[in-house]
Structure 1
Amino acid sequence: MSVLRTAALRSKRTIVAVGLTVAVVAGTGGWAAGSAQTAVTGPAPGAAAWRADHSLDRPLPDPAKAAPAAVARFFASLTRAQQHTLAARHPLTVGNLDGAPVPLRYEANSLALKAERRHRLAQATDPAGTLQDHRQARKAAGRCAELLAPGRRILAFDPRGRGQVAEVHGDLTRARHVAVVVPGSDIDLGSFDRARDPYGTPTGMATSLRRQMTAEAPGARTAVIAWAGYTTPVGLGPDAATGRLAEAGAPRLARFLSGLAAVGAPAPAVLCHSYGSLVCGAAAARTDRDAIADLIVFASPGIRHDSAAALHTSARVWAARDASDWIGNVPHVEFLGLGHGEDPTDPAFGARRVPAARAKGHTGYLAPGTDSLRNFAAIALGRYADVR
């Protein structure tokens, strides 16, 4: 078969597959079920005031430009009193500043959440607002109150847009084994944790994974971070079929992972669910080498790379999909920006396959009792021989 004929057949298959993609989306609710989102990028509110602060008689590290390692060195040069003063004066900046000391970020985010709760409660009684405005404000205030509950460790909080948050389960400052969970579509401040479909939420996935890691290795020092730090697609709209939001979120994830390395955390296993796998795929090449130990994509529609090698990462790349997951019916193509490319679970892709026979549906991979959960825990613990 000639090269031209082969290319023509491949192009024809791609066009047909794109047509099937459109049909699948339309048949599952249609693009009308989704809405285009404005990606939240750049530093959290308050960055201008932070840059203008000359109380230490020297410039503060630019939240948009300073490398996490430089941020870590800056805070190491301060006294405890100076650190706490900066956190109190600029809670949103310090709370989201990758490379800042972990306990200081918890402190700053607690202050930021309290301030946001007060702001939302004021909105809830503002005579100029509508009943819907009041209802939404009360709901947002309630979410802030939940994140302020004793024992919760909030590593990042950004109230812009639909809200972004990262939470640590375990003691990150002492952990020997760390994992980061990157969620897919429809996740934001309001759906970060919920009673319905708990293992489809960052909190549910992180809690279940850490519990399994503890069961597999009692006494091991572990921490799992639920990271909802990018603007996710809503519904089955064009955002879910393109990589626009993933490209916007990838620098935030890459910076976050570099920030973990800057404060001395071990290289984590990064678990990427559904659309989150696109974010991880785009972030891999942007992340410092050796900043990721393992990259696990599951329920993935593709990661916009032709192979594991194309990710240009030193991390071990793993992939999982259960037989009942509807994502397996989505054609693995990319054409004119639509679709997400090769199937990461295809042997030709080159990822290590993780069994997930007991998982159910699109969000059941970290449900208790599943082989996928046990295997993910083994990977996060570095027990690769136990993956089976």
Structure 2
Amino acid sequence: MKFKQVLVAMILIASSSSFAQAGKDVNDVKYRRSSLHTILIESDNFPKKDQVIGAYYNAPFPDKYDNHRIGEKSFDPKKYGLTDNTSDEKMIPVINKYFSDSKIANKLVAKWFNRKANGTFDISLVSERGLINASFTDIKTAEASSEGKALLQSAGLELIGNTFVVVSKMKFIENEPVARATREAAILAANKLTIPLIRNKAIDVADKAYDRAKEGYSVWTTSYLYKLKWDDATSNTFYQDYWIDSSTTGNLAEKKSKFDKSDLFQLELIGSENSTSLVTFSLNGKRTENQIINLAVTRNIDNVYAKLQKKYDVFKTKVPLFTGNPITAKIGIKEGLEAGDKFEVLEANMDPKTGIIEYKRKGTIKVSKNRIWDNRYTGGLPLLDDDGNEINSALEATTFEGGGKYFPGMLIRQIN
């Protein structure tokens, strides 16, 4: 259809002018990235709530994803009859209902096409992020509409179809009541022992365990991962029935209303993960209470993202190699790396007829022992160990082991 041909031509023209200026520095390597929106499930009062929620909102956006936030920062589950004690399983239908009521999927699509208040769309964001996909070869012209349509389809499936939403629920729990209950249960069991020496030893162990566990708080995060459904049927209906631009004729208000009310766009649940972090204030003097909470909350968020990436292939990110000899990449402890973790090395190839990028495996590598970069969030403060001592490390990237000739800019992706 005419709209698709014009859309593709605009993408290609914009792409051609931009990539002529692309640098060769590995930090400027352009590659296909997923897009992400985040939402926080509101909770009732808990210790340090304002500080915890503030730390969540101020945490750096995950840097391996394109920021696709749409303004919907949080929602209140109590409006749907739930409480803070609602199980994870019962929370999922509520999230789905919230998505439907608030038309979150529609808003994600609207952002992709830079929708204006009058309902008109444009391709500025699709073009901008589509350039990333075309950075490995010359851009083809749009003279042949079949090839142009293939490129548009690739942009849709590889960009819009990799739009994710992570919905998180956080709790900040005081450790002392839990530690006290555990000690009381242990002492109750110990008092049933008939041999005094063993009984006293068991009570002593319970007391020491209590002393270690009672301090501070624990941050609990449960995150639910959703993916925007964007297939041929969805995209074709969108372009045919809902697209509005300066050339559109007819009843524009009616067409705008159809998009606003449409149930065509959906979010599909991929899965969920949990993460827990201990927050103690024993480092007071080196860090303030606010700094400690900010650090713990941010790292807890990073941990749950790392778990989601390891568990669900569709959410895994690709990262460019920083150097080829030695083999290094700018990922580390923040992403949950451990010695021996395996990665595939990928080379991007564009089909000259369709413009679709495919990745060819060039080999596999694994994380080297004792060469893992500690890139955890520090809030601009020195990196400290569990005892409060400053960690001095010259590492600025993680080193990998593996045969083969690899070059900066090749992409790596973790494999199981």
Q: Which has the larger radius of gyration?
A: 2
Structure ranking higher on relative contact order (CA contacts 8 Å, 6+ apart)? 2
TM-score by length of 1: 0.26
Quick check: which one's strand share is greater? 2
